[in-house]
Structure 1
């Protein structure tokens, strides 16, 4: 089969020329448009998640030979989480080539974090099936690039860190409340307030409720740690 111009351009952006182009087409086909004759990317996503995980685990071990398991685990989670996969997908404009059903397209599917993250994992799997693990590993290391060296700054989950800060001071876990939502259904913006039993609070907004919670927790934690200092 021959790839369309947009998929040929995407192929160039990720630096891998498919010998079996049908694998790339499958990787960018969402379940909303899949059929018996047009397989979607869900099974590839399953495989790609494992290929990404092994690659990241090896890369982290090589990058810091003195790191303990306790240090490596949060770094690993930061690199393989869906949000990071979606960030990488945006950098290579994966959303532009996704094959979506009409309803998914109208609801802003090309920008949805979970959908982009899943498709990125599917592309990794497609490269693995097309040219083997080393090719997929090279793709991941190329696309994730500098993130591996700078992951320490992103490794600490703000919600977990804030909860640990509160518990260390005998407080109950922080409370989160959605205080606002605006924008169209396909591109909502959530506002979340996080508060401590002692009365301190912080508010943040983001494109998903989880991201807003993380941003609010980060803001409050930074303020409380500055006060400790």
Structure 2
């Protein structure tokens, strides 16, 4: 799939920290996010007879920022992202948030130039390992922990944001999860939601 409009693809690769650039990826990321969601939802709907709840769980996992970042790393996207000096020095090229946004922006650019059918084919290829894997198949760790606490006559788990560090484009969140009279664990990730998920998973591994 050869680019037709170089400016469009440069826009998709450009982070807002590159202040002298005429445009950044944010608008194309908005579009690509919707294109990705529709393509994955259509593939899941056509490929199984699963109930709506199971389809939603898989969709959310497959379009999550972490999954998008894994796909971006697998194709070596990081070095091609156009970042300002500060963002580059802060590790922006390996940030889950930036990698996820940029790959969605590239899907948005591809949609504008080549249409939905072509982009759906690309997504099916790039996301094939994720679709074939366990993403969204297993119970979410937070749900599993909630059910474990209830089943053991414990109070519901409590999540607390302990620390937020780093610049906005490469922020790190540390979250604690505790169950009364059982224990507490902490986990750190590039988003509060992912930190909560990892903390719940760690708690279950340690106490479940």
TM-score bin (small chain): 0.7 to 0.9
TM-score by structure 1 length? Answer: 0.77
1:43 to 3, 17, 27: 27
Show CA shifts across 1:20-45 (max 9, x none). Answer: 2222111001122255x621111100
Which sections of structure 1, spanning at least 5 residues, go unmatched?
A: 1-15
Corresponding residue for residue 103 of structure 1: 86
Equivalent position of 2:7 in the other structure: 22
Mapped contact 2:57–2:136 kept (Cα < 8 A): no
- The secondary structure found in structure 1 opposite 2:117 is helix
* Distance change (3 Å), C-alpha of 1:180 and 1:20: closer
1:75, 1:155 within 8 Å by CA — same for their partners in 2?
A: no
Are 2:66 and 1:83 equivalent residues in the alignment?
yes
Rate the CA distance shift 1:178–1:51 in 2: closer, same or farther, 3 A. Answer: closer
Root mean square deviation of aligned Cα: 2.8
* 1:113 paired residue number: 96
Tell me the CA shift for residue 131 of structure 1. Answer: 1.0
The answer to whether residue 153 in structure 2 is matched with residue 166 in structure 1 is no
| Structure index of larger Rg | 1
Counterpart-to-counterpart distance in 2, 1:27 and 1:187: 19
Ranges in structure 2 where 5+ consecutive residues have no aligned partner: none
TM-score where L is the length of structure 2: 0.84
In structure 1, the residue matched to 2:17 is 32
